[in-house]
Amino acid sequence: MDIKRELIINADDFGLTPGVSAGIIYAYQHGIVTSTTAMVNTEFSRESLTAAKHCPGLGIGLHFVLDAGRPLSSSPFSLIDKKGRFLKGGELIASATKQDITNELEAQLQVLFDEGIEVTHIDSHHHMHLHIPSALEAMTEIAKTHRLPLRTFSDTNRTETVTTTDHFCQDFYGEDLLSTDYLLQLFSELQPGVTEMMCHPAFIDTWLNKKSSYRFTRAKELALLTDSRMSDWLDKHKVRLIHYGGL
């Protein structure tokens, strides 16, 4: 009897820059990316979401941002500095209140709803819901309210009230590791059930230099994710590609 394995390959940071969004769409159209999560508080968000509407099979979720750029909700004082930008690191973790996080999450999610996006799931930029307990609580509650799956990382932050995957792989990351053999090794280690694999493909553009320390490796990710050997391996081993809407 064949072991049933399903794989969601989710590209984070959709909307971060035009090159990032274009790279994700290319990896969907010509590769094995099935899902993405959108940053909606960037200056490139609207045009990216417009482009995504021409990709009906691409699952689109919310990449909830708490530590980059400016908030969309009104007066989230526990989340921002004197210039109105999100706090970062320990300062954000120490200051953030659950109510401000909830309001901001609702505001960012509403952008996708207003754009007519059929939202598939929620995760967070830089995995902030792992670092701020009240953020995980807020995301779990909002996910439950809207009946949306939530990215989880281990059994310790799973909940019976919110849908998620059986497994999560965050190992496809970093210049020193990425290669054809390494990605095929990750595929060979897939367990029965549904696994999400996180990735960050992109075409490099000038905006990315100012917005992310993870830059040139994104182009390497894009090349690997569009290599036909990857899709051939998945087909041969009967690994089904899905997005969160298929859970």
The CATH number assigned to the domain holding 97 equals 3.20.20.370
Give, as one character, the DSSP assignment of residue 155. Answer: G
pLDDT in tens, 10-58: 999 999 999 999 999 999 999 999 999 999 999 999 999 999 999 999 9
Q: Which domain, by its residues, includes 143? A: 5-246
Number of domains in the chain: 1
Kindly write down the DSSP assignment for every residue of 159-195, as one continuous string.
-TTS---SEEE--S--TTT-SHHHHHHHHHTPPSEEE
| Per-residue pLDDT tens digits for 116-133 | 999 999 999 998 888 888
Cα–Cα distances (Å) from 13 to 17, 20, 39, 161, 233, in that order, read: 8, 7, 6, 26, 26
What's the Cα-to-Cα distance from 59 to each of 36, 53, 102, 122, 191, rounded to whole Å?
A: 6, 10, 23, 11, 22
Decide which of 2 and 112 is more confident.
Answer: 112
Neighbours of 32 (CB within 10 A): 23
pLDDT of amino acid 161? 76
Residue 176 confidence (pLDDT): 80
pLDDT of residue 158: 58
pLDDT digits (tens, 9 = 90+) for 50-82: 999 999 999 999 999 999 999 999 999 999 999
The per-residue pLDDT for range 123-163, each reduced to its tens digit, is 999 988 888 889 999 999 999 999 999 998 765 555 667 89
Among residues of the chain, what percentage have pLDDT more than 70?
96
Helix (H, G, I), strand (E, B) or coil at 153: coil
DSSP for residue 150: B
- Specify whether the CB–CB gap between 31 and 218 falls below 8 A: no
pTM: 0.94
Average pLDDT, the chain: 93
